[in-house]
């Protein structure tokens, strides 16, 4: 279909093998003038190498303080159909399993009340409905809640939409029911999600094992990562089948052709702790030295399985660079059992929130507050004992603070007595 705007640069992006977002939007433009103007506006941005959305935008639905990202185009004279182009975040089902029936209902609603464009999904996890006008926000919200049984996701200084890996639904490595944890946390903390009350945003992500398919360690203020504390389960028959070339290593990720796996070179020598031994017949693992990195299990999924005494490592503090530099989450609880109703975990989280809400500066992520006050202050506030597993190496500078109560004599000192022993 011919667009009412010229888009020569965008048309270049209809070439090549990858699914073209331009071709897709253009298809929708036949029915939705909003899409047509969106392409026109984007072409202008390509030409001028500048964004054409105005700063910020504060819109929403009554009762909630977030969930909608307001946007206004700065050239409504040229592109009136995207004068308003607000985004709604819709809370997705854990791990993003859908029925086509539900998706069809959502699409019908969105084609009627919005641009028909979506982002499946936002990086935090939400289903993102891209582009509508202010007067449609309450009607969309009404439809979502009354007809589709769905709610908005989070935005602003609040708990953002939790998300998780596919977990036990389709992965034999999952040490956690990641979906149940995500659903439970989402439902328990609806109030924190919909009505901003924090110094800044806060995210939960849950992965069933250290492969961390949802990248919890990098993208969540609280990262919940599955692990086990007993032994890796070994099927020696299957190990020998890998060695004999009967089973394909890594589930075929490096080619599905059958080949003999060199267990010494490709598994034992690559184990980060060197805790494995292979004599050509039997694989031995000294589990007390295993750090549960997943390598051997990833290479021989049919032979090795995580243990059965499963739980999670809880880490805190990941964030993007602004302001004080990027951080990955740090281990705070090396191991915690995770079973419904997750009381122990929730008690911990509420202590973390109390501390951060009391001490966090405006727009200070948890990771930055931990940096500013120190891990020691954080551990004291959440009543957790320090543990060697929380650090990669001990500190190498000697600027060590002591609690005066732990030092005989405290900080009181008598300068006169000092001078009697040391004459000036």
Partner 1 sequence: MPQVEYKGKVFDVDEDGFIDSFDKWCPEWVDYVKESEGIQELTEEHWKVIHVLQDYYKKHGIAPMVRILTKVTGFKLKYIYELFPSGPGKGACKMAGLPKPTGCV
CA atoms within 13 A on the CB side of 151: 15
Is 59 a residue that touches partner 1 (CB under 8 A)? Answer: yes
Q: Which one among 48, 100, 362, 385 touches partner 1, defined by CB under 8 A?
A: 362
Is 94 a residue that touches ligand SF4 (CB under 6 A)? Answer: no
Q: Which one among 148, 260, 357, 391 touches partner 1, defined by CB under 8 A?
A: 357
Residues 129, 88 contacting (CB under 8 angstroms): yes
| Stretch of 283-291, 318-326, 362-370, 380-388 lying at the interface with ligand SF4 (CB under 6 A) | 283-291
Is 227 a residue that touches ligand SF4 (CB under 6 A)? Answer: no
Q: Which is nearer to partner 1, 56 or 404 (CB)?
A: 56
Q: Which one among 32, 143, 219, 295 touches ligand HEM, defined by CB under 6 A?
A: 219
Q: Quote the CA–CA distance of 145 and 162 in Å, as a whole number.
A: 19
Q: Quote the CA–CA distance of 329 and 255 in Å, as a whole number.
A: 34
How many CB atoms within 10 Å of residue 266?
17
Contacts (Cβ under 8 Å, ≥6 apart) of 319: 221, 326, 327, 365, 366, 367, 368
Q: Which of residues 42-81 bind ligand HEM (CB under 6 A)?
A: 56, 69
Is 363 a residue that touches partner 1 (CB under 8 A)? Answer: yes
Q: Quote the CA–CA distance of 269 and 277 in Å, as a whole number.
A: 9
DSSP alpha helix (H) spans, 18-113: 21-29, 33-48, 100-113
Residues 47, 9 contacting (CB under 8 angstroms): yes
Is 120 a residue that touches ligand HEM (CB under 6 A)? Answer: no
Is 273 a residue that touches ligand SF4 (CB under 6 A)? Answer: yes
Residue closest to ligand SF4 when measured from CB atoms:
208
Q: Which is nearer to ligand HEM, 123 or 190 (CB)?
A: 123
Is 373 a residue that touches partner 1 (CB under 8 A)? Answer: no
Pairing of strands 127-130, 163-164: unpaired
- The H or E element containing residue 204 is strand 204-207
Q: Which one among 36, 37, 43, 126 touches ligand HEM, defined by CB under 6 A?
A: 126
| Stretch of 95-103, 106-114, 116-124, 271-279 lying at the interface with ligand HEM (CB under 6 A) | 116-124
The residue among 44, 49, 69 whose CA lies nearest residue 59 is 69
Q: Which one among 120, 244, 320, 326 touches ligand HEM, defined by CB under 6 A?
A: 320
Which of partner 1, ligand SF4, ligand HEM, none lies near 275, with the C-beta cut-off 5 to 8 A by kind? ligand SF4
Is 213 a residue that touches ligand SF4 (CB under 6 A)? Answer: yes
Q: How far is the CB of 70 from ligand HEM (least distance, A)?
A: 9
Task: Identify any residues that bridge with 223 across adjacent strands, giving them in sequence order.
Answer: 205, 315
Q: What angle do CA 40, 44, 49 make, to 5 degrees?
A: 145
- The H or E element containing residue 285 is strand 283-285
Residues forming contacts to ligand HEM in the complex (CB under 6 A) are: 56, 69, 89, 122-126, 153, 161, 219, 320, 322
């Amino acid at each position: 279909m011919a667009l009412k705007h010229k888009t020569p640069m965008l048309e270049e992006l209809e070439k090549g093998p990858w699914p073209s977002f331009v071709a897709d939007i253009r298809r929708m433009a036949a029915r939705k003038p909003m899409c047509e103007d969106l392409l026109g506006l984007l072409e202008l941005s390509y030409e001028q190498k500048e964004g054409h959305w105005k700063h910020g935008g504060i819109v929403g639905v009554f009762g909630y303080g977030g969930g909608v990202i307001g946007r206004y185009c700065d050239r409504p004279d040229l592109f009136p159909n995207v004068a308003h182009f607000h985004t709604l975040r819709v809370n997705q089902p854990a791990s993003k399993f859908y029925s086509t029936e539900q998706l069809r209902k959502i699409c019908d609603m969105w084609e009627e009340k919005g641009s028909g464009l979506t982002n499946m999904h936002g990086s935090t996890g939400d289903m993102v409905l891209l582009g509508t006008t202010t007067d449609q926000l309450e009607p969309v919200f009404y439809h979502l809640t009354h007809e589709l049984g769905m709610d908005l996701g989070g935005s602003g200084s609040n708990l953002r939409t939790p998300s998780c890996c596919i977990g036990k639904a389709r992965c034999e490595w999952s040490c956690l029911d990641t979906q149940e944890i995500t659903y439970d946390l989402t439902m328990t903390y609806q109030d924190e999600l919909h009505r901003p009350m924090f110094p800044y945003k806060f995210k939960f992500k849950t992965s069933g094992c250290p492969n961390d398919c949802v990248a919890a360690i990098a993208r969540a203020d609280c990262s919940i990562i599955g692990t086990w504390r007993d032994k890796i389960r070994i099927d020696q028959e299957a190990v020998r089948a890998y060695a004999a070339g009967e089973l394909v290593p890594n589930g075929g990720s490096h080619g599905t052709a059958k080949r003999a796996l060199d267990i010494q070179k490709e598994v034992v020598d690559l184990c980060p702790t060197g805790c494995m031994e292979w004599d050509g017949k039997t694989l031995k693992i000294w589990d007390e030295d295993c750090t549960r990195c997943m390598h051997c299990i990833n290479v021989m999924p049919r032979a090795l399985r995580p243990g059965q005494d499963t739980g999670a490592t809880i880490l805190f503090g990941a964030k993007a660079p602004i302001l004080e530099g990027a951080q990955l989450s740090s281990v705070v609880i090396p191991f915690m059992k995770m079973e419904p109703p997750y009381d122990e975990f929730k008690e911990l989280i509420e202590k973390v929130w109390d501390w951060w809400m009391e001490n966090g500066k405006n727009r200070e992520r948890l990771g930055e507050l931990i940096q500013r006050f120190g891990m020691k202050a954080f551990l004291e506030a959440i009543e957790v004992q320090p543990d060697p597993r929380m650090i990669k190496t001990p500190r190498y500078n000697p600027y060590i603070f002591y609690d005066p109560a732990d030092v005989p004599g405290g900080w009181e000192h008598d300068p006169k007595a000092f001078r009697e022993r040391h004459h000036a």
